[in-house]
Amino acid sequence: MARKLAVIGAGLMGSGIAQVSAQAGWDVVLRDVTDEALRRGTDGIRASYDKFVAKGKLSADDAEAALARITATTDLDAAADADVVVEAVFEKLEVKHEIFRALDKLVKDGAILASNTSAIPITKIAAVTERPERVVGTHFFSPVPMMQLCELVRGYKTSDETLATAREFAESTGKTCIVVNRDVAGFVTTRLISALVVEAAKLYESGVATAEDIDLACKLGFGHAMGPLATADLTGVDILLHATGNIYTESQDEKFAPPELMRRMVDAGDIGRKSGQGFYKH
């Protein structure tokens, strides 16, 4: 299998995808627009490898070899000879369109263009390229080194061959894949968590139960590892608000209409763990 990967976006998701891919033997180009973003991304990768080494899950030599396989750059042209390109930038269609237009002109004919989007239809992203059959969704989960799942999304024109290559790539990094055969906004996982978070936030907003008790109900009653409101804090209330908004806009399904509380929390900057306050104090 082809072994050159380009990851566009060195944030939490992009750097995580670069990390597991380099560890699996891929030569990785990690691209972002600023040196600062690249430094944060590569520092995060190094720190994560160090943790795995300290826990005895990775040898120091393997960690060094994996790091050596990652090249950080601000130059998009570095993706030109990649076999697989994964876009992991902000969840805004215009931003993704700009990147996919550029990649379409840049990468070689046989390359596949993948998006790590969690809620935007792949068909919409692929529409700006001349190769929609080579565009696919590879939705990894955060934190990428720890989470087993990769959601593969077939756009309206994604070919079987592209889907098979995407599966091969994701499985090579140790992930288990599910396939989304119909390209609905939010796919399978984001629709499920969004519906649960929206309902949990409404119950909390209307004083039906405390955040702790709502989460406890899901953990002990349904066997969830983490309750929906704690998940919202971990993911970012702002990110979930954005995702549910996208799904609601696409589907006009009322169950995805974000409650006012989530909007106010985002307005106030109470977006979860990264701000120190969300549904819980951190």
pLDDT in tens, 217-274: 999 999 999 999 999 999 899 999 988 998 999 899 999 999 999 999 999 999 999 9
Q: Report the distance separating Cα 282 and Cα 271, nearest Å.
A: 11
Fold held by 4-180: Rossmann fold (3.40.50)
- 49-72 average pLDDT score: 97
Residue 28, pLDDT > 60, answer yes
List, in order, residues 6 or more apart from 90 with CB less than 8 Å away. 9
Q: Are 73 and 38 in contact (CB under 8 A)?
A: yes
Say yes or no: do domains 4-180 and 190-273 share a fold: no
Residue 30: CA count within 13 A, CB half-sphere = 32
How many percent of the chain have pLDDT more than 70? 99
What's the pTM?
0.91
Q: Report the distance separating Cα 39 and Cα 35, nearest Å.
A: 6
Q: Tell me how far the alpha carbon of residue 11 is from its chain's centroid.
A: 10
**CATH 1.10.1040.10 holds for 190-273:** yes
Residue 1, pLDDT > 60, answer no
Q: Where are the domains of the chain?
A: 4-180, 190-273
